[in-house]
Protein backbone atom coordinates (compact mmCIF):
# COMPACT_ATOMS: atom_id res chain seq x y z
CA UNK A 1 0.00 0.00 0.00
CA UNK A 2 1.46 3.34 -1.03
CA UNK A 3 -0.80 5.21 1.40
CA UNK A 4 -1.98 4.02 4.77
CA UNK A 5 -5.62 3.02 4.57
CA UNK A 6 -6.79 5.27 1.72
CA UNK A 7 -8.40 2.33 0.01
CA UNK A 8 -8.01 -1.26 -1.18
CA UNK A 9 -5.57 -2.00 -3.99
CA UNK A 10 -6.83 -4.28 -6.74
CA UNK A 11 -5.34 -6.00 -9.73
CA UNK A 12 -7.48 -4.42 -12.44
CA UNK A 13 -6.47 -6.82 -15.22
CA UNK A 14 -4.88 -4.81 -18.04
CA UNK A 15 -5.09 -1.67 -15.90
CA UNK A 16 -2.33 -1.52 -13.27
CA UNK A 17 -2.57 0.49 -10.08
CA UNK A 18 -6.36 0.48 -9.92
CA UNK A 19 -7.60 1.61 -6.52
CA UNK A 20 -11.00 1.47 -4.87
CA UNK A 21 -11.79 3.94 -2.11
CA UNK A 22 -12.34 1.98 1.12
CA UNK A 23 -15.52 3.84 1.94
CA UNK A 24 -16.85 3.08 -1.54
CA UNK A 25 -16.67 -0.70 -1.21
CA UNK A 26 -20.45 -0.97 -1.29
CA UNK A 27 -23.61 0.77 -0.11
CA UNK A 28 -24.14 1.37 3.59
CA UNK A 29 -21.74 1.99 6.48
CA UNK A 30 -18.25 0.44 6.09
CA UNK A 31 -17.83 -2.76 8.12
CA UNK A 32 -14.94 -5.00 9.12
CA UNK A 33 -15.80 -7.45 6.36
CA UNK A 34 -13.95 -6.97 3.14
CA UNK A 35 -16.48 -7.43 0.28
CA UNK A 36 -13.68 -8.09 -2.19
CA UNK A 37 -11.50 -11.19 -2.02
CA UNK A 38 -8.94 -12.67 -4.34
CA UNK A 39 -10.61 -14.44 -7.24
CA UNK A 40 -13.98 -12.78 -6.65
CA UNK A 41 -15.60 -10.91 -9.53
CA UNK A 42 -17.05 -7.51 -8.72
CA UNK A 43 -18.89 -4.74 -10.55
CA UNK A 44 -17.45 -1.27 -10.07
CA UNK A 45 -17.61 2.14 -11.72
CA UNK A 46 -14.75 4.52 -12.39
CA UNK A 47 -14.87 7.63 -10.23
CA UNK A 48 -11.71 9.33 -11.45
CA UNK A 49 -8.48 8.75 -13.30
CA UNK A 50 -5.33 10.38 -11.93
CA UNK A 51 -2.82 10.76 -14.74
CA UNK A 52 0.03 11.90 -12.48
CA UNK A 53 -0.32 8.94 -10.15
CA UNK A 54 -1.38 6.62 -12.97
CA UNK A 55 -4.27 5.19 -10.97
CA UNK A 56 -8.02 4.73 -11.21
CA UNK A 57 -10.47 5.46 -8.38
CA UNK A 58 -13.31 2.94 -8.40
CA UNK A 59 -16.55 2.63 -6.48
CA UNK A 60 -19.01 -0.18 -5.86
CA UNK A 61 -21.63 2.24 -4.53
CA UNK A 62 -24.77 3.01 -6.47
CA UNK A 63 -26.07 6.51 -7.14
CA UNK A 64 -24.51 9.72 -8.35
CA UNK A 65 -20.78 9.67 -9.19
CA UNK A 66 -20.17 13.31 -8.27
CA UNK A 67 -17.65 13.73 -5.45
CA UNK A 68 -15.83 16.72 -3.87
CA UNK A 69 -12.52 17.48 -5.60
CA UNK A 70 -9.49 15.75 -4.13
CA UNK A 71 -6.80 17.90 -2.54
CA UNK A 72 -3.44 17.36 -4.14
CA UNK A 73 -0.48 17.11 -1.83
CA UNK A 74 1.28 19.71 -3.95
CA UNK A 75 -1.50 22.18 -3.07
CA UNK A 76 -1.24 21.55 0.67
CA UNK A 77 0.85 23.77 2.88
CA UNK A 78 3.25 21.64 4.92
CA UNK A 79 5.25 24.56 6.23
CA UNK A 80 4.66 24.86 10.00
CA UNK A 81 6.24 28.34 9.93
CA UNK A 82 2.92 29.72 8.68
CA UNK A 83 1.35 28.89 12.05
CA UNK A 84 3.60 31.45 13.73
CA UNK A 85 1.74 34.22 11.92
CA UNK A 86 -1.49 33.22 13.68
CA UNK A 87 -2.35 35.18 16.83
CA UNK A 88 -2.05 33.17 20.05
CA UNK A 89 -5.70 33.73 20.95
CA UNK A 90 -6.92 32.37 17.58
CA UNK A 91 -7.91 28.70 17.40
CA UNK A 92 -7.32 26.62 14.30
CA UNK A 93 -9.33 23.42 14.13
CA UNK A 94 -8.61 20.20 12.34
CA UNK A 95 -10.78 17.12 12.00
CA UNK A 96 -8.97 13.90 12.83
CA UNK A 97 -10.59 10.64 11.78
CA UNK A 98 -9.26 7.67 13.74
CA UNK A 99 -9.20 4.38 11.82
CA UNK A 100 -8.75 0.97 13.38
CA UNK A 101 -5.56 -0.61 12.10
CA UNK A 102 -5.66 -1.66 8.45
CA UNK A 103 -9.39 -2.29 8.40
CA UNK A 104 -10.28 1.33 7.58
CA UNK A 105 -13.13 1.13 10.09
CA UNK A 106 -13.74 4.54 11.65
CA UNK A 107 -13.32 4.31 15.43
CA UNK A 108 -14.09 7.96 16.18
CA UNK A 109 -13.88 11.43 14.73
CA UNK A 110 -12.30 14.26 16.70
CA UNK A 111 -12.17 18.04 16.29
CA UNK A 112 -8.76 19.09 17.49
CA UNK A 113 -6.72 22.27 17.58
CA UNK A 114 -3.77 21.97 15.22
CA UNK A 115 -1.55 23.14 18.05
CA UNK A 116 -2.60 20.13 20.14
CA UNK A 117 -0.11 17.44 20.94
CA UNK A 118 -0.56 13.91 19.62
CA UNK A 119 -0.85 12.78 23.23
CA UNK A 120 -3.90 15.01 23.57
CA UNK A 121 -5.46 13.02 20.72
CA UNK A 122 -4.57 9.79 22.50
CA UNK A 123 -6.27 11.02 25.67
CA UNK A 124 -9.35 11.95 23.63
CA UNK A 125 -9.41 8.42 22.18
CA UNK A 126 -9.23 7.05 25.72
CA UNK A 127 -12.23 9.13 26.74
CA UNK A 128 -14.19 8.10 23.66
CA UNK A 129 -13.36 4.39 23.52
CA UNK A 130 -11.94 3.48 26.94
CA UNK A 131 -8.67 2.27 25.37
CA UNK A 132 -5.77 3.36 27.57
CA UNK A 133 -3.23 5.55 25.84
CA UNK A 134 -0.46 3.15 26.80
CA UNK A 135 -2.02 0.58 24.46
CA UNK A 136 -2.32 3.00 21.55
CA UNK A 137 -0.03 3.65 18.60
CA UNK A 138 -1.07 6.26 16.05
CA UNK A 139 0.16 6.17 12.46
CA UNK A 140 -0.19 8.83 9.80
CA UNK A 141 0.91 8.20 6.23
CA UNK A 142 2.47 4.92 7.45
CA UNK A 143 4.64 6.79 9.97
CA UNK A 144 4.28 6.50 13.74
CA UNK A 145 3.39 9.69 15.59
CA UNK A 146 5.27 10.74 18.70
CA UNK A 147 3.32 11.74 21.78
CA UNK A 148 5.12 15.10 22.00
CA UNK A 149 4.51 16.07 18.36
CA UNK A 150 1.99 18.75 17.45
CA UNK A 151 -0.78 17.96 14.98
CA UNK A 152 0.08 20.97 12.83
CA UNK A 153 3.58 19.60 12.30
CA UNK A 154 2.54 16.14 11.12
CA UNK A 155 -0.99 16.37 9.71
CA UNK A 156 -1.69 17.73 6.22
CA UNK A 157 -4.77 19.84 5.56
CA UNK A 158 -7.86 20.48 7.69
CA UNK A 159 -8.74 16.76 7.76
CA UNK A 160 -6.64 13.72 8.38
CA UNK A 161 -7.08 9.99 8.72
CA UNK A 162 -4.94 8.52 11.46
CA UNK A 163 -4.62 4.79 12.02
CA UNK A 164 -4.96 3.39 15.53
CA UNK A 165 -3.00 0.24 16.31
CA UNK A 166 -3.35 -1.72 19.56
CA UNK A 167 -0.05 -2.71 21.21
CA UNK A 168 0.86 -5.01 24.07
CA UNK A 169 1.70 -2.47 26.76
CA UNK A 170 3.31 -5.11 28.97
CA UNK A 171 6.16 -5.49 26.51
CA UNK A 172 6.86 -1.78 26.10
CA UNK A 173 10.00 -0.25 27.48
CA UNK A 174 9.66 2.40 30.22
CA UNK A 175 9.51 5.98 29.00
CA UNK A 176 13.03 7.42 29.04
CA UNK A 177 12.54 10.59 26.96
CA UNK A 178 12.29 13.43 29.46
CA UNK A 179 10.80 15.99 27.06
CA UNK A 180 8.17 13.54 25.87
CA UNK A 181 7.24 12.64 29.44
CA UNK A 182 6.98 16.33 30.34
CA UNK A 183 4.33 16.77 27.64
CA UNK A 184 2.46 13.64 28.68
CA UNK A 185 2.32 14.70 32.34
CA UNK A 186 0.51 17.86 31.30
CA UNK A 187 -2.49 15.71 30.35
CA UNK A 188 -2.12 12.69 32.65
CA UNK A 189 -0.08 12.69 35.84
CA UNK A 190 -0.38 8.90 35.99
CA UNK A 191 2.03 8.75 33.01
CA UNK A 192 4.81 8.93 35.58
CA UNK A 193 4.06 5.29 36.40
CA UNK A 194 5.46 4.23 33.01
CA UNK A 195 8.71 6.19 33.25
CA UNK A 196 12.15 4.94 34.19
CA UNK A 197 13.24 4.99 37.83
CA UNK A 198 15.55 7.91 37.07
CA UNK A 199 12.74 10.08 35.71
CA UNK A 200 10.48 9.16 38.62
CA UNK A 201 13.09 10.75 40.90
CA UNK A 202 13.15 13.97 38.87
CA UNK A 203 11.70 16.82 40.95
CA UNK A 204 10.34 18.88 38.04
CA UNK A 205 8.60 15.87 36.57
CA UNK A 206 7.21 14.91 39.99
CA UNK A 207 5.78 18.42 40.41
CA UNK A 208 4.21 18.28 36.95
CA UNK A 209 2.66 14.87 37.70
CA UNK A 210 1.09 15.74 41.07
CA UNK A 211 -0.05 19.12 39.77
CA UNK A 212 -2.18 17.31 37.19
CA UNK A 213 -3.24 14.45 39.50
CA UNK A 214 -2.48 14.25 43.20
CA UNK A 215 -2.74 10.46 43.13
CA UNK A 216 0.40 10.40 40.96
CA UNK A 217 2.42 10.83 44.18
CA UNK A 218 2.38 7.04 44.53
CA UNK A 219 4.63 6.84 41.46
CA UNK A 220 7.22 9.28 42.81
CA UNK A 221 10.41 7.73 44.14
CA UNK A 222 13.17 8.58 46.56
CA UNK A 223 13.48 11.63 48.78
CA UNK A 224 10.78 13.45 46.77
CA UNK A 225 8.15 11.58 48.80
CA UNK A 226 9.20 13.73 51.74
CA UNK A 227 9.47 16.97 49.76
CA UNK A 228 7.00 19.47 51.27
CA UNK A 229 6.25 21.25 47.99
CA UNK A 230 5.62 18.01 46.10
CA UNK A 231 3.37 16.54 48.79
CA UNK A 232 1.49 19.79 49.37
CA UNK A 233 0.80 20.12 45.64
CA UNK A 234 -0.48 16.54 45.55
CA UNK A 235 -2.74 17.16 48.55
CA UNK A 236 -4.34 20.13 46.78
CA UNK A 237 -6.31 17.69 44.62
CA UNK A 238 -6.07 14.58 46.80
CA UNK A 239 -5.92 15.06 50.60
CA UNK A 240 -5.24 11.34 51.00
CA UNK A 241 -1.89 11.83 49.24
CA UNK A 242 -0.31 12.25 52.67
CA UNK A 243 -0.88 8.53 53.24
CA UNK A 244 1.55 7.82 50.37
CA UNK A 245 4.12 10.38 51.44
CA UNK A 246 7.43 9.72 53.17
CA UNK A 247 8.17 9.99 56.88
CA UNK A 248 9.46 13.56 56.61
CA UNK A 249 6.19 14.75 55.07
CA UNK A 250 4.00 12.82 57.54
CA UNK A 251 5.94 14.49 60.34
CA UNK A 252 5.39 17.96 58.87
CA UNK A 253 2.85 19.85 61.03
CA UNK A 254 1.72 22.11 58.18
CA UNK A 255 0.89 19.18 55.92
CA UNK A 256 -0.64 17.19 58.78
CA UNK A 257 -2.93 20.07 59.73
CA UNK A 258 -4.16 20.38 56.13
CA UNK A 259 -4.85 16.67 56.00
CA UNK A 260 -6.79 16.65 59.29
CA UNK A 261 -8.85 19.66 58.26
CA UNK A 262 -9.78 17.89 55.03
CA UNK A 263 -10.52 14.54 56.71
CA UNK A 264 -9.97 13.81 60.44
CA UNK A 265 -9.51 10.14 59.61
CA UNK A 266 -6.13 11.07 58.10
CA UNK A 267 -4.75 11.06 61.65
CA UNK A 268 -4.10 7.35 61.09
CA UNK A 269 -1.29 8.21 58.67
CA UNK A 270 0.54 10.81 60.73
CA UNK A 271 4.03 10.11 61.99
CA UNK A 272 4.14 8.67 65.55
CA UNK A 273 6.09 11.72 66.71
CA UNK A 274 3.13 13.97 65.83
CA UNK A 275 0.74 11.68 67.71
CA UNK A 276 2.71 12.48 70.86
CA UNK A 277 2.54 16.24 70.31
CA UNK A 278 -0.25 17.52 72.58
CA UNK A 279 0.07 21.15 71.45
CA UNK A 280 -0.47 20.14 67.82
CA UNK A 281 -3.28 17.64 68.45
CA UNK A 282 -5.34 19.59 71.02
CA UNK A 283 -7.17 21.86 68.50
CA UNK A 284 -8.07 18.86 66.35
CA UNK A 285 -9.24 16.72 69.28
CA UNK A 286 -11.39 19.64 70.43
CA UNK A 287 -13.11 19.54 67.01
CA UNK A 288 -13.47 15.76 66.92
CA UNK A 289 -13.26 13.99 70.26
CA UNK A 290 -12.99 10.53 68.74
CA UNK A 291 -9.48 11.41 67.48
CA UNK A 292 -8.38 10.71 71.04
CA UNK A 293 -8.23 7.06 69.99
CA UNK A 294 -5.04 7.69 67.98
CA UNK A 295 -3.24 9.98 70.42
CA UNK A 296 -0.14 8.35 71.87
CA UNK A 297 0.27 10.59 74.93
CA UNK A 298 -3.17 11.39 76.39
CA UNK A 299 -3.42 13.99 79.13
CA UNK A 300 -6.34 14.70 81.45
CA UNK A 301 -6.86 18.06 79.74
CA UNK A 302 -7.08 16.44 76.31
CA UNK A 303 -9.41 13.71 77.62
CA UNK A 304 -11.76 16.29 79.10
CA UNK A 305 -11.83 18.27 75.82
CA UNK A 306 -12.52 15.11 73.83
CA UNK A 307 -15.42 13.97 76.05
CA UNK A 308 -16.94 17.43 76.05
CA UNK A 309 -16.97 17.39 72.23
CA UNK A 310 -18.13 13.76 71.91
CA UNK A 311 -19.27 11.81 75.01
CA UNK A 312 -18.43 8.51 73.33
CA UNK A 313 -14.75 9.53 73.48
CA UNK A 314 -14.97 8.33 77.07
CA UNK A 315 -14.06 4.94 75.63
CA UNK A 316 -10.51 6.14 74.87
CA UNK A 317 -9.80 7.98 78.13
CA UNK A 318 -7.39 6.51 80.59
CA UNK A 319 -9.15 5.44 83.79
CA UNK A 320 -7.11 7.71 86.03
CA UNK A 321 -8.17 10.71 83.88
CA UNK A 322 -11.90 10.04 84.26
CA UNK A 323 -13.71 12.06 86.91
CA UNK A 324 -17.28 12.07 88.20
CA UNK A 325 -17.86 15.45 86.56
CA UNK A 326 -16.62 14.12 83.24
CA UNK A 327 -18.90 11.09 83.52
CA UNK A 328 -21.98 13.19 84.35
CA UNK A 329 -21.20 15.47 81.40
CA UNK A 330 -20.88 12.50 79.08
CA UNK A 331 -24.09 10.66 80.04
CA UNK A 332 -25.98 13.92 80.19
CA UNK A 333 -25.22 14.55 76.51
CA UNK A 334 -25.44 10.95 75.34
CA UNK A 335 -26.91 8.26 77.57
CA UNK A 336 -25.21 5.52 75.56
CA UNK A 337 -21.87 6.73 76.95
CA UNK A 338 -22.85 4.71 80.05
CA UNK A 339 -21.30 1.77 78.22
CA UNK A 340 -17.81 3.21 78.83
CA UNK A 341 -18.29 4.42 82.41
CA UNK A 342 -15.91 2.63 84.81
CA UNK A 343 -17.56 0.50 87.50
CA UNK A 344 -16.64 2.88 90.32
CA UNK A 345 -18.63 5.68 88.65
CA UNK A 346 -21.66 3.57 87.65
CA UNK A 347 -23.77 4.76 90.59
CA UNK A 348 -27.48 5.49 90.85
CA UNK A 349 -27.15 9.16 89.93
CA UNK A 350 -25.14 8.41 86.79
CA UNK A 351 -27.41 5.57 85.67
CA UNK A 352 -30.58 7.62 86.10
CA UNK A 353 -29.04 10.53 84.16
CA UNK A 354 -28.09 8.18 81.32
CA UNK A 355 -31.50 6.45 81.14
CA UNK A 356 -33.24 9.80 81.31
CA UNK A 357 -31.26 11.00 78.28
CA UNK A 358 -31.69 7.73 76.37
CA UNK A 359 -33.76 4.75 77.70
CA UNK A 360 -31.59 2.41 75.63
CA UNK A 361 -28.81 3.01 78.15
CA UNK A 362 -30.33 0.32 80.42
CA UNK A 363 -28.78 -2.30 78.15
CA UNK A 364 -25.48 -1.37 79.82
CA UNK A 365 -26.86 -1.85 83.36
CA UNK A 366 -25.99 -5.26 84.73
CA UNK A 367 -26.59 -4.65 88.41
CA UNK A 368 -30.08 -5.55 89.62
CA UNK A 369 -30.23 -2.80 92.22
CA UNK A 370 -29.39 -0.17 89.64
CA UNK A 371 -31.92 -1.69 87.21
CA UNK A 372 -34.62 -1.48 89.87
CA UNK A 373 -33.85 2.20 90.38
CA UNK A 374 -33.93 2.81 86.63
CA UNK A 375 -37.29 1.13 85.91
CA UNK A 376 -38.92 2.73 88.94
CA UNK A 377 -38.16 6.12 87.45
CA UNK A 378 -38.52 5.17 83.77
CA UNK A 379 -40.67 2.01 83.53
CA UNK A 380 -40.68 1.82 79.75
CA UNK A 381 -36.89 1.53 79.76
CA UNK A 382 -37.66 -2.11 80.65
CA UNK A 383 -38.07 -2.66 76.91
CA UNK A 384 -34.27 -2.42 76.43
CA UNK A 385 -33.20 -4.40 79.50
CA UNK A 386 -31.34 -7.68 79.41
CA UNK A 387 -33.50 -10.79 78.99
CA UNK A 388 -32.65 -11.91 82.52
CA UNK A 389 -34.34 -8.77 83.85
CA UNK A 390 -37.40 -9.26 81.63
CA UNK A 391 -37.92 -12.59 83.38
CA UNK A 392 -37.16 -11.17 86.83
CA UNK A 393 -40.41 -10.60 88.73
CA UNK A 394 -38.82 -8.01 91.03
CA UNK A 395 -37.67 -5.82 88.14
CA UNK A 396 -40.93 -6.23 86.21
CA UNK A 397 -42.91 -5.53 89.36
CA UNK A 398 -40.99 -2.29 89.95
CA UNK A 399 -41.88 -1.11 86.45
CA UNK A 400 -45.46 -2.41 86.73
CA UNK A 401 -46.10 -0.40 89.89
CA UNK A 402 -45.09 2.78 88.08
CA UNK A 403 -46.86 2.05 84.78
CA UNK A 404 -48.99 -1.06 84.27
CA UNK A 405 -48.57 -0.95 80.48
CA UNK A 406 -44.87 -1.79 80.94
CA UNK A 407 -46.02 -5.39 81.48
CA UNK A 408 -45.95 -5.80 77.73
CA UNK A 409 -42.14 -6.09 77.84
CA UNK A 410 -42.03 -8.87 80.45
CA UNK A 411 -41.58 -12.52 79.56
CA UNK A 412 -43.79 -15.39 80.75
CA UNK A 413 -41.98 -16.33 83.99
CA UNK A 414 -42.20 -12.75 85.31
CA UNK A 415 -45.86 -12.35 84.36
CA UNK A 416 -46.81 -15.63 86.06
CA UNK A 417 -45.01 -14.53 89.20
CA UNK A 418 -46.79 -11.17 89.12
CA UNK A 419 -50.16 -12.95 88.88
CA UNK A 420 -49.35 -14.90 92.02
CA UNK A 421 -48.17 -11.74 93.81
CA UNK A 422 -50.87 -9.33 92.65
CA UNK A 423 -53.76 -11.44 91.32
CA UNK A 424 -56.36 -8.71 91.62
CA UNK A 425 -54.23 -5.97 90.10
CA UNK A 426 -52.99 -8.04 87.16
CA UNK A 427 -56.15 -10.00 86.42
CA UNK A 428 -58.28 -6.95 87.13
CA UNK A 429 -57.11 -5.59 83.79
CA UNK A 430 -58.54 -8.63 81.99
CA UNK A 431 -61.79 -10.54 82.12
CA UNK A 432 -60.07 -13.79 81.26
CA UNK A 433 -56.43 -14.68 81.40
CA UNK A 434 -54.72 -17.00 78.92
CA UNK A 435 -51.06 -16.90 77.90
CA UNK A 436 -50.20 -16.98 74.21
CA UNK A 437 -46.76 -16.86 72.66
CA UNK A 438 -47.02 -13.76 70.45
CA UNK A 439 -44.41 -12.65 67.94
CA UNK A 440 -44.21 -8.83 68.12
CA UNK A 441 -45.51 -7.04 65.03
CA UNK A 442 -42.36 -4.92 65.02
CA UNK A 443 -40.29 -8.06 64.39
CA UNK A 444 -37.37 -9.69 66.19
CA UNK A 445 -36.77 -9.87 69.92
CA UNK A 446 -38.05 -12.31 72.49
CA UNK A 447 -41.61 -13.66 72.23
CA UNK A 448 -44.21 -11.62 74.06
CA UNK A 449 -46.68 -13.45 76.31
CA UNK A 450 -49.94 -11.52 76.42
CA UNK A 451 -53.03 -11.95 78.54
CA UNK A 452 -56.01 -12.23 76.20
CA UNK A 453 -59.40 -10.92 77.39
CA UNK A 454 -62.25 -13.39 77.02
CA UNK A 455 -64.27 -10.84 75.05
CA UNK A 456 -61.79 -11.14 72.22
CA UNK A 457 -62.90 -14.71 71.49
CA UNK A 458 -65.77 -15.62 69.21
CA UNK A 459 -68.32 -18.24 70.19
CA UNK A 460 -67.04 -20.25 67.25
CA UNK A 461 -63.96 -21.13 69.25
CA UNK A 462 -66.00 -23.12 71.71
CA UNK A 463 -66.40 -22.87 75.43
CA UNK A 464 -62.72 -23.44 76.18
CA UNK A 465 -60.62 -20.78 74.44
CA UNK A 466 -57.48 -21.94 76.23
CA UNK A 467 -57.85 -25.35 74.64
CA UNK A 468 -58.46 -23.75 71.23
CA UNK A 469 -55.28 -21.74 71.58
CA UNK A 470 -53.18 -24.72 72.63
CA UNK A 471 -54.64 -26.73 69.77
CA UNK A 472 -53.42 -24.17 67.31
CA UNK A 473 -56.87 -23.11 66.06
CA UNK A 474 -56.38 -19.49 67.04
CA UNK A 475 -53.70 -17.36 65.39
CA UNK A 476 -52.50 -14.05 66.72
CA UNK A 477 -52.58 -11.40 64.00
CA UNK A 478 -51.77 -8.15 65.78
CA UNK A 479 -50.67 -7.05 69.23
CA UNK A 480 -51.47 -3.64 70.67
CA UNK A 481 -52.93 -1.58 73.51
CA UNK A 482 -56.42 -0.16 73.76
CA UNK A 483 -57.22 3.31 75.04
CA UNK A 484 -57.37 1.99 78.64
CA UNK A 485 -53.85 0.58 78.44
CA UNK A 486 -55.03 -3.04 78.24
CA UNK A 487 -53.07 -5.55 76.22
CA UNK A 488 -55.20 -6.51 73.23
CA UNK A 489 -54.74 -8.80 70.27
CA UNK A 490 -56.68 -9.28 67.06
CA UNK A 491 -57.42 -12.93 66.49
CA UNK A 492 -58.16 -14.90 63.36
CA UNK A 493 -58.97 -18.57 62.62
More confident residue, 61 or 324: 324
Angle at 137 between CA 133 and CA 138, to 5 degrees: 110
Q: Is the dihedral of CA 199, 202, 205, 207 positive or negative?
A: positive
Q: DSSP for 265-324, please give it.
A: GGGGGS-TTGGG-HHHHHHHHHH-GGGGGG-SS--HHHHHHHHHH-GGGGGGS-GGG--H
* pLDDT band for position 314 (cuts 50, 70, 90): very high
**Coil, strand or helix: which one is 487?**
strand
CATH code that applies to domain 91-171: 3.10.20.90
* pLDDT band for position 4 (cuts 50, 70, 90): very low
In this prediction, what percent of the chain has a pLDDT beyond 70?
Answer: 68
- Give the pLDDT of residue 70: 60
pLDDT of 19 over the 60 cut:
no
Q: Per residue, what are the HEC states of 350-408?
A: HHHHHHHHCHHHHHHCCCHHHHHHHHHHCHHHHHHCCHHHHCCHHHHHHHHHHCHHHHH
Task: Give dist(CA 363, CA 390) in Å, integer.
Answer: 12
Non-local CB neighbours of 178 within 8 Å, separated by 6+ positions:
199, 202, 205
For 217-259, the pLDDT digits (tens) are 999 999 999 999 999 999 998 989 999 999 999 999 999 999 9
pLDDT of 79 over the 70 cut:
no
- Give the pLDDT of residue 15: 42
Location of each CATH 3.10.20.90 domain in the chain = 91-171
**Coil, strand or helix: which one is 453?**
coil
pLDDT of 155 over the 70 cut:
yes
pLDDT of 89 over the 60 cut:
no
**Coil, strand or helix: which one is 444?**
coil
Mean pLDDT within 35-59: 72
Rg (CA), the chain: 41
* pLDDT band for position 158 (cuts 50, 70, 90): confident
More confident residue, 103 or 385: 385
Task: Give dist(CA 249, CA 271) in Å, integer.
Answer: 9
Q: Per residue, what are the HEC states of 176-191?
A: CCHHHHHHHHHHCHHH
CA-CA-CA-CA dihedral for 472, 475, 480, 482, to nearest 10: -90
Nearest to 47, CA basis, from 74, 98, 76, 7:
7
pLDDT of 298 over the 60 cut:
yes
Nearest to 137, CA basis, from 169, 109, 178, 161:
169
Amino acid sequence: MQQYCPGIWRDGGSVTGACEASNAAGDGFPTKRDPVRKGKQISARILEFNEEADRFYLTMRSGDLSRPPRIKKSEENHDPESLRLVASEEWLDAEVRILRGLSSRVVTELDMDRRSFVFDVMMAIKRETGLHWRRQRLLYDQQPLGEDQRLGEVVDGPEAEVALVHVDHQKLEPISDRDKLQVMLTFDGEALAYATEELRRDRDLALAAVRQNGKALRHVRGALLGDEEVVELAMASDPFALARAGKAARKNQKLAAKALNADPDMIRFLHPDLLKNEAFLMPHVAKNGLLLKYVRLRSAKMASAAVEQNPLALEFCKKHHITETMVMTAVGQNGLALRFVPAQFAVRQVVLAAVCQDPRAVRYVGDKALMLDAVREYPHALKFAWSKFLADADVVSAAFEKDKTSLRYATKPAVLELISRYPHEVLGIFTFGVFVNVTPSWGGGDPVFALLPKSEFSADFGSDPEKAIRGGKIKVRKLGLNDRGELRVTMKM
